[in-house]
Structure 1
Amino acid sequence: MPVLMYHSVNARPLRATRRLAVDPGAFADQMALLADRGFTPVPVSTLADRPGRLPARPVVITFDDGYADFHERALPVLDGLGFAATVFVTTGWLADAGTQAAGAPLDRMLSWPQVREAAAHGIEIGGHSHSHPQLDQLPDAALDDELTRNKGLLEDRLDRPVTTMAYPYGYSSARVRRAAARAGYTSACAVANRLPRDEHVLALPRLTVRQGMDLGTFARLVEGDGVLRTYAFDRVLTKGYAVVRRLRYAVRQAGS
């Protein structure tokens, strides 16, 4: 079952989001392909809550960060097809975060009314931390605060439980996953760029959909063909950087 990771859906993205932005026309074509091939999108939480009741051809569509173009360009396409999706929101980045503003947004962000509107249209809202830090590098108290503040704000504003999240940058560790569970999350997404196998529900792998991916490549990926070849370089970098990050955290802890 493919779990797709999107960020911005924008024909003219800023430099900071360009590599992971998808043209709106390409996004519409990708969603149409899923519909034509009989895929049924399900929210992330379904994988944890109802794994035995998935449709015949499930796919998961996720969006990280909470960019304003989700509301402007992606939501109408999803709504028109009756597709479910999950948007992971960085609460401190929201356009109207006010006194809760934190971190450095990379582009125009959703507002609270837009988040609520997406939820009203059947989009699952998940957490993405409060200020979008590298969670695996934070000390325990700061890590817990990032997760609980994000979750608490979302649940308060949406008046519904928020049970799923995605790790900023895809960075996690066993310690971060324990913190996610402690905060009350029952599922969480990493990146990994491969199809799910028997992963723990707090470390679900996703496939990155990025700028320039042609429709043929997209079709092969969702059908499970060529995943290793497409993401070979990404996977090498990810494994190497994971080692560096573990060492960096260990050095920081030894010096504290």
Structure 2
Amino acid sequence: MPVSAEPALLPGRPLCSPGPSPWVVMYHSVGDCSHDPYRITVSPRRLDRQLRWLRRRGLRGVGVRELLTSRARGAGQDLVGLTFDDGYADFVLHALPLLRRHGCGATLFVLPGRLGGDNAWDPLGPRKPLLSAEGIRHAAAEGIEIGSHGLTHVDLTRVDDALLQAEVRDSRTLLSEVTGADVHGFCYPYGRLHRRAVDAVRAAGYTYACATDPGHLTGLLALPRVHFGENDTAWRLYLKHRLRRRPVEGV
């Protein structure tokens, strides 16, 4: 259900919620793991087990915006943010049915500059097809939050101001045209960010942004995430849940 922005969700404001910091999980591709040099793929079987593990512990996966809005209201301690980066076509084929089976939602970060293309930015890995505009609309119609991963998956810490603005601002505009809805979330390609990238995300009007390990930059525009992969069995998930990162406190 769409939720209007609240003061506690405005960029630069801390999360007004007691308890542990929000737990946001990062996935990429869901499919064949036989040739996976970057370890970005989880098999459907493993994803099924991981979602089942969350549910057994009384946790439910949701999109990041739903998670943050609930936490800002002082609720949502049983919610986990599930994110899928890059917008691989196998999300609709493999991930979406499993999310439905376990009653979970998610945020899908896509690249509107590569619609229907592939992961050309990964020189060593197999070519994986990306979702088309139709595939993105299908995921959105199923209740998946659509966020921006930039236009073309470039490292924002290595580009000039003009390209930075295009990757951040123009991707939001294009995605809004594709989905017919506002786009609230951004995900930094490669998880990398610096102050200039954060400022560009804020200026473009995003409500939140996800990284991997943002270092000293924390807050709604630099949310840390933990990677879930094929090797993450129940014991590893337990440790990752216990060793959550520090509270999110505002950039």
Instruction: Tell me the TM-score range normalised by the shorter chain.
Output: 0.7 to 0.9
* Unmatched segments (≥5 aa) in structure 2: 1-21, 246-251
Q: Which is higher, the Rg of structure 1 or of structure 2? A: 1
**Amino acid across the alignment from 1:54:** A
1:128–1:167 Cα contact (<8 Å) kept: yes
1:102–1:131 Cα contact (<8 Å) kept: no
Change (3 A) 1:15 1:37: closer
1:24 has 2:44 as partner: yes
Report the Cα distance in structure 2 between the residues aligned to 1:24 and 1:140, rounded to whole angstroms. 39
1:140-155 matches, cutoff 5 A = 140-155=161-176
1:40–1:59 Cα contact (<8 Å) kept: yes
CA RMSD of aligned residues (A): 2.5
What's the offset of the Cα at 1:71? 0.7
Identity over aligned pairs, percent: 35
Aligned counterpart for 2:238 among listed residues 219, 222, 237: 219
1:84 has 2:105 as partner: yes
1:178 has 2:211 as partner: no
Q: How many residues align?
A: 219
**Structure 1 stretch displaced more, 53-62 or 139-148:** 53-62
What's the offset of the Cα at 1:107? 1.3
> How high is the TM-score relative to the length of structure 1?
0.78
1:92–1:102 Cα contact (<8 Å) kept: no
Aligned counterpart for 1:73 among listed residues 80, 85, 94: 94
2:119–2:129 Cα contact (<8 Å) kept: no
* Unmatched segments (≥5 aa) in structure 1: 229-256
Report the Cα distance in structure 2 between the residues aligned to 1:35 and 1:119, rounded to whole angstroms. 23
2:182 corresponds in structure 1 to: 161
2:26 corresponds in structure 1 to: 5
Change (3 A) 1:203 1:212: same
Report the Cα distance in structure 1 between the residues aligned to 2:68 and 2:112, rounded to whole angstroms. 23
1:46 has 2:66 as partner: yes
2:27–2:84 Cα contact (<8 Å) kept: yes
Change (3 A) 1:33 1:150: same
> How high is the TM-score relative to the length of structure 2?
0.79
2:5 corresponds in structure 1 to: none
**Amino acid across the alignment from 1:88:** F
Deviations 1:164-204 (A, max 9, x none): 0100000111110000011111100000199xxx9310000
